[in-house]
Structure 1
């Protein structure tokens, strides 16, 4: 009687894919070749991923997921304000990336067109934007409710741009222990939260409402 074939897990497929990219300096030609080479079926692959490109995107999302899981093992994290939560995320996320630096550099530099490489980060982008929305506190939220949705989207997009710039800086960082990236993170996050100070914006909105009302009254 033939031995029952081992059931492969999602994490094992991810690990095999990363090893393939690093050892062969290229992506698998197809799901068929990738599955056959590693002794599992295409059906096994498709039970977790729709395409190889989907697998690539999932790897970066898993980097994010591992980061958040690590953050929640720290009991003090829940008591942090938004800025310190963001700093904690950055330092932890880049520790995760550094542990997988060879893979990250290989895949994000594979094509001469950076936009094609960074398509892999689209799933990470959605997860990160949701994270930013979750940690957004009233200290950085406009009082005017009708502006809050617009503000939240602006904060999400600016935070994502900042993360992208930090990834680019880290990829080019040649300092020991990537200490320059640590400095970049601290300075850029501090600067972004200074810009997010909503008190002046609330005052400007109140002033604008005052001017609008005065203009309406003057016409009556």
Structure 2
């Protein structure tokens, strides 16, 4: 019989879970590491083993969302054989499934500050993950193209993927459809459109992608 007094294992996932619950239950962020740890019966030294500050936790939560999505994708034995287009679709579908499971926290976090760009600071590490994922995809596609002129600029594609995610995130935030089915449609349409754009018209600068996103925004509004 397991001991009723078995000590709780303190790791990064446990602390993140407690932090997210704290934010939602108090409708506010903890004022200090001391206050957060005291309320959750966590030793400060245990907290600092995994995180340097509360701000670093905000970023770590988004990193955990991405890692959770990628782990889920890789558990699908067929994923490795997907086309680059289908891999990008799978990433977005899976990411938004993860975000939906944590929607209350995500919506709260994205409205923390009155200045929109300040709210995006927590996504800095997440942005790097998205861009690196996109870089790998475009490198694969470029390797399959015979002529240099038909190859797409990796930096433009990766930045475009990030802008596309922000567009989809904003769409998801305002989506009131059952099961967020409109977000699923937006993901499918935008990914297919941008891959068609890259396949047929190599982009020379990110402004072309910006025009695409603006057209998408107008269409869905």
Aligned equivalents of 1:28, 1:124: Cα separation in 2: 22
**Aligned-residue CA RMSD in angstroms?**
2.4
Aligned to 2:131: 129
Where does 1:45-56 land on structure 2 (aligned, <5 Å)? 45-56=47-58
Alpha-carbon distance in 2 for matches of 1:64, 1:110? 21
The whole-number CA distance in structure 1 between the counterparts of 2:192 and 2:22 is: 39
Contact 2:139 2:154 in 1 (8 A): no
Q: Distance in 2 between matches of 1:31 and 1:19?
A: 15
Q: Distance in 1 between matches of 2:202 and 2:112?
A: 43
Match of 1:60 among 59, 62, 79: 62
Distance 1:7 1:84, change over 3 A: closer
Q: Is the 8 A contact 1:108 1:118 kept in 2?
A: yes
Of 22, 34, 44, the residue aligned with 1:42 is: 44
* Deviation readout 1:35-88 (Å, 9 max, x if unpaired): 111111111111111111100101011000000000001111100110000001
Report the counterpart of residue 186 of structure 2 in structure 1. 184
Partner of 1:112: 114
Corresponding residue for 2:214? Answer: none
Partner SS for 2:18: helix
The answer to whether the Cα contact below 8 Å between 2:171 and 2:183 also exists between their aligned partners in 1 is yes
1-structure distance, mates of 2:40, 2:202 = 57
Displacement of 1:136 in angstroms is 2.5
Aligned partners of 1:184 and 1:86: how far apart in 2?
13
1:144 lines up with 2:141 in the alignment = no
Aligned to 1:209: none
Query: Where in structure 1 are there 5+ consecutive unaligned residues?
Result: 205-220
SS in 2 for 1:179: helix
Q: Secondary structure at the match of 1:75?
A: coil
Aligned residue pairs, count: 198
Checking the alignment, whether the CA contact within 8 Å between 1:132 and 1:156 is kept in structure 2 is: yes
- SS of match in other structure, 1:136: helix
Partners of 1:140 and 1:196 within 8 A in 2 = no
TM-score normalised per structure 2: 0.83
List, as ranges, runs of 4+ consecutive aligned residues in structure 1 with deviation greater than 6 Å: none
- Gapped runs of 5+ residues in structure 2? 205-221
| CA displacement 1:131-184 (0-9 Å, x = unmatched) | 112222443466439x97x81111100000000110000000011111110111
Which position in structure 2 is the counterpart of 1:213? Answer: none
